[in-house]
Structure 1
Amino acid sequence: MSTRPETGGYMTEDRRMIQQSARDFAMREVLPVANRLDPEQGDIPMALRDKMAEMGYFGITIDEKYGGLGLGCFEYCLVAEELARAWMSVASIIARGNGMIGFDAMSEAQRAEIMPRVASGQYLGAFSMSEPNAGSDVANISCRARRDGDDWLITGNKYWCTFADGADYIIVIARTDPDVDPKRRHKGLSIFLVDKPRGQLPPGCQGNPIPKIGYFGWKTWELAFDDCRVPASAMVGEEGKAFYAVTHGLEKARAHTAARAIGLARAALEDATAYAQERIQFGRPIGDFQAIRFKLATMATEIEAARQLMYFVCTEIDSGRRCDKEAAMVKYFASEMAERVTSQGLQILGGAGYTKLHAMERHWRDARLTKIFEGTSEIQQRIISDHLLGR
């Protein structure tokens, strides 16, 4: 039985080719690396990152004039689903080129200098917004940036900064106006691009990796900035306007998370389907039993429903239409679906699923995270309900 997703009316011949190429790459290049390194919590190898760069995966949505592919959110999410089917961390690292929040706020001079290196995979970033007391409550950020002559000095604690060590720069959201009205605290935040040596934290910054239960392939850090000095040119966009840049970038980020969730769920379906045809009990493959067949049917249906909603949201984003409600819906629906489907996949494998001898436990662990990052399921429900009922 084939579990290849149906593509529906959204797919052009070019998109089918992009999808198939990404699928071949993921299964040939990514999955063996994931199966080897995830159990030992190893980092994504540079050799694999170089191959991804050759495929153009860091510049899918970057304009052709900067060396990117000049494609849309739709193609970005097509590739992300295929990569996540193999290893979600690899599907995530392409956002360090395509989807970094703050890019849209850059001046043309900054774009011309930075984007060609980003598109080629030579200049990848980490994003540092969350803090111990500020997650979804972005306006509560307390990390401070103060002027010192022609420079800025950044001081404060950050949390959940994935890839802080391996990145070539860190986008830091910091408060530049500490005296803003408490009811309008979102207006006092600014974006800084902090250059750093790859493999190190920037001068004036210390940190430690956070012990995670999944999302291996790269490290996630807690950071402490202590008068980290950056030039005035490091500010991205207008001073005090970071909140708007962050919220503007969330639609594409949430579609990307939905794509990753769908890829994980599809991995669980494909692995469970193969196992159900091989595992013999009571003299028959367990896939002959109705209980297993119906589980697989439900899993496949939920995956396809999420995928079609994602295709719709990506089309809206690429058309330039505002779709914050729909983006919240697809992120919410796909991530909740991924946890259910990967859990069912593990159930089909039984005891074998609860071991590290199969990739199913990886799919399950990583799917659980999709309900948390890029805004929790509860935050998505808040956004959706606000559209229905008002704030």
Structure 2
Amino acid sequence: MTATVESLDALLGDPGDRANPLGHEAFLAADERGELPHAGRAALEACGLGAAFVPRELGGALGEMDALARLLRPLFGRDGALALGLGGINLIAAAPVWTAGSEAQRGHLANVLLNGGQSAGAYTELATGHDLVRSRVRATASGNGFLLSGRKEVINNVSRAHTVTVLARTGDGTGSRDHSLFLLDMDAVARDSVAFLPRFRTSGLRAMHLSGVDFRDCPVPASAMVGEPGTALETVLRAFQVTKSVLTSAMLGCLDSQLRVVTGFVRERRLYGASIGELPLVRSQLTSAFTELLISDCLATTACRALHLLPRQTGAYAAATKYLVPELVQDASDDLSVVLGARSFLRDGPYGTFQKHARDLPVASLAHMGATPCQAMLIPQLPRLAKRSWFVSGPAPTELFRYGTPLPDADLGRLDMTAAADDRLIGTLLAVADELNGDLRLGPLCRVLRAELAALRDACAALPPRERSPLTGPAGFRLAERYALLLAAAACLGVWWHNRHRADPFLTDDTWLTAALRRLTARLGHPVAPGADDTAVTDALFRELLSRHDALRAFDLVGRSLR
């Protein structure tokens, strides 16, 4: 059986059913215990989720990356620990192997995942965090292989994994060629050469099993090395473009669930003889969160599809997505907590799910790479993009934005560590902005975006050489933030422009786009003065929100049925 969104929905069942072993109440209780419910493991095995992480040419179901993200959203909406602990971790561990592994390695890992096995990715260490260059675990040449020594801590599911992808030092320097990657068959390693470390407890994703592994001169065959010696950092940074895009997009299921809880509360709660939905503040907070979700979906899904269509540019798009989307989602969650008030702190009952996601989101957003490293990756690329691409490169292909249209299989070997100076997403912003220049509602917003891009180009060109590195000061990080916001605006414009033929009246109408661009221009420092049209936009979004809630439809761009 191959997992589909429909089969997952059927297995997960009604979240509000107290008798459902996979309902919200069951997951809240499991979260308090700090353990995943057995029914969750059984459900994922029954639906064949492992195949979703295996490329089609290896017998799996992994094709379109945005489809994988949408497959995982219901899992994140139910429980982030389940989604990451038994789902996303397999992608984190497998992506480098699909990128640079040998035929034998790819076949072995595919067999493990297709048969319900688990994999783990041991890249980071507690002392050095996301600074992979400073990793201390060492692989020393010995005979026909290597001896692996050192500790990897805070690794998801490592003590239960059948295979582990390990980044280890094979050189003595601090450069990019001093580390290699290994795929370990944990069923074959000498048991006395590996010790599993105690579990780490966290404030969010409490049921996720984070522990560590201590390699004690663990013998590793030479055939376990993934790719060429000294290429681990390059391989991992290319492969992480997949996980940054897919898992960030999938994480939107958490916000969708929170939005459903709060919209239901607004539907039921009355104050002063009327629904609290009549209060302007409540409408504003709800529609702001809805808009942040739509913006995030546009950017994250575009990054996923770019893996197929624009692999040489995806390095920048994936980093911007991994930085910006968690920030937007966190802001949306904060907006929704204002509506719930004190109820947002309850850990059980009908609002416990909201609080659980509020705890889970900050932890989930750190999975394998946090916001600061992603910004730092963008900064050195900005002057080159500003000089050679912005206002020069043409728009991205139409297929980048048309959800559901077939895509060629992603060739992960074509992914680059740094983006090519051919920024097609920014090219789309300029092309669509030109088309909308005369539009009374969208034209002024597009002109603000164009002016902001020109200002960003000049600021990047003026950046001193010492500031064009990850060690830059606050000014460099602010430039990366502005670029990410412009990419989000470009994604929104591209999605709306290239989906105007769809039957969905909400997606084809410019109301959501207007709200999205106003939010983004405000974040860029150009807020739009409130007016009558602002109220009309808020009211239209609020009606759509209630309609989707009552019809049991998701709140993202596709708005699939949850029945």
TM-score range, shorter chain: 0.7 to 0.9
- Further displaced range: 236-245 or 291-300: 236-245
CA contact (8 A) 2:137 2:169 kept: yes
In 2 relative to 1, CA 330–134 (structure 1 residues): closer, same or farther, beyond 3 Å? same
Mapped pair 1:292 → 2:285? no
> Could you say what secondary structure the match of 2:242 adopts?
helix
Mapped pair 1:326 → 2:317? yes
Instruction: Report how many aligned residue pairs link the two structures.
Output: 368
CA contact (8 A) 1:44 1:218 kept: no
- Further displaced range: 162-171 or 188-197: 188-197
The equivalent residue for 1:57 is: 49
Deviation at 1:44, TM superposition (A): 4.8
Q: Which residues of 2 match residues 113-192 of structure 1 at below 5 A?
A: 113-121=108-116, 123-178=117-172, 180=173, 182=174, 184=175, 186-192=176-182
Mapped pair 1:95 → 2:88? yes
Amino acid at match of 2:228: E
What is the CA deviation profile of residues 343-381 of structure 1, one whole-angstrom value per residue up to 9, with x for unaligned ones? 222332222221211111111111112443332222222
The equivalent residue for 1:37 is: 30
Q: Write 1 or 2 for the structure with the bigger share of strand.
A: 1
> Could you say what secondary structure the match of 1:218 adopts?
coil
What is the CA deviation profile of residues 312-363 of structure 1, one whole-angstrom value per residue up to 9, with x for unaligned ones? 1111112252211111122222101121122222332222221211111111
Amino acid at match of 1:300: F
CA contact (8 A) 2:194 2:213 kept: no
CA contact (8 A) 1:151 1:231 kept: yes
Report the TM-score, using the length of structure 1 for normalisation. 0.86
The equivalent residue for 1:251 is: 241
Alpha-carbon distance in structure 1 between the residues aligned to 2:157 and 2:37: 11
CA contact (8 A) 1:345 1:360 kept: no
The equivalent residue for 1:84 is: 76
Structure 2: gaps of 5 or more residues: 15-20, 385-467, 469-563
Greater C-alpha radius of gyration = 2
Report the TM-score, using the length of structure 2 for normalisation. 0.61
Deviation at 1:383, TM superposition (A): 2.5
Q: Percent of pairs identical after alignment?
A: 21
Alpha-carbon distance in structure 1 between the residues aligned to 2:187 and 2:108: 18
> Could you say what secondary structure the match of 1:187 adopts?
coil
Alpha-carbon distance in structure 2 between the residues aligned to 1:66 and 1:202: 33
Alpha-carbon distance in structure 2 between the residues aligned to 1:212 and 1:44: 18
Deviation at 1:268, TM superposition (A): 1.1
Deviation at 1:202, TM superposition (A): 7.5
In 2 relative to 1, CA 388–31 (structure 1 residues): closer, same or farther, beyond 3 Å? farther
Q: Which has the higher contact order (CA 8 A, sep 6+)?
A: 1
The equivalent residue for 1:13 is: none
Alpha-carbon distance in structure 2 between the residues aligned to 1:241 and 1:107: 14
Deviation at 1:22, TM superposition (A): 4.1
Amino acid at match of 2:305: T
Mapped pair 1:361 → 2:355? yes
- Further displaced range: 335-344 or 225-234: 225-234
Mapped pair 1:69 → 2:64? no
- Further displaced range: 92-101 or 212-221: 92-101
Deviation at 1:228, TM superposition (A): 2.2
In 2 relative to 1, CA 252–65 (structure 1 residues): closer, same or farther, beyond 3 Å? closer
The equivalent residue for 1:344 is: 335
Mapped pair 1:382 → 2:373? no
The equivalent residue for 2:391 is: none
Amino acid at match of 1:83: L
CA contact (8 A) 1:66 1:119 kept: no
What is the CA deviation profile of residues 84-127 of structure 1, one whole-angstrom value per residue up to 9, with x for unaligned ones? 11111222232343442421222112222331231332x21111
Q: Which residues of 2 match residues 242-281 of structure 1 at below 5 A?
A: 242-281=232-271
CA contact (8 A) 2:35 2:207 kept: yes
Alpha-carbon distance in structure 1 between the residues aligned to 2:126 and 2:54: 33
CA contact (8 A) 2:112 2:162 kept: no
Amino acid at match of 1:119: L
Alpha-carbon distance in structure 2 between the residues aligned to 1:211 and 1:231: 33
The equivalent residue for 1:221 is: 211
Amino acid at match of 1:52: L
> Could you say what secondary structure the match of 2:343 adopts?
helix
> Could you say what secondary structure the match of 1:375 adopts?
coil
Deviation at 1:69, TM superposition (A): 1.2
Alpha-carbon distance in structure 2 between the residues aligned to 1:314 and 1:145: 34
Deviation at 1:255, TM superposition (A): 1.1
The equivalent residue for 1:9 is: none
In 2 relative to 1, CA 202–291 (structure 1 residues): closer, same or farther, beyond 3 Å? farther
Alpha-carbon distance in structure 2 between the residues aligned to 1:27 and 1:308: 28
Alpha-carbon distance in structure 2 between the residues aligned to 1:191 and 1:209: 24
The equivalent residue for 2:294 is: 304
Amino acid at match of 1:177: G
In 2 relative to 1, CA 234–135 (structure 1 residues): closer, same or farther, beyond 3 Å? same
CA contact (8 A) 2:126 2:153 kept: yes
Alpha-carbon distance in structure 1 between the residues aligned to 2:241 and 2:113: 21
Alpha-carbon distance in structure 1 between the residues aligned to 2:113 and 2:166: 17
Structure 1: gaps of 5 or more residues: 1-16
RMSD: 2.5
In 2 relative to 1, CA 313–24 (structure 1 residues): closer, same or farther, beyond 3 Å? farther
In 2 relative to 1, CA 127–232 (structure 1 residues): closer, same or farther, beyond 3 Å? same
Deviation at 1:21, TM superposition (A): 4.4
Amino acid at match of 2:41: R
Amino acid at match of 1:165: S
CA contact (8 A) 2:259 2:290 kept: yes
Alpha-carbon distance in structure 2 between the residues aligned to 1:91 and 1:201: 29
In 2 relative to 1, CA 269–90 (structure 1 residues): closer, same or farther, beyond 3 Å? same
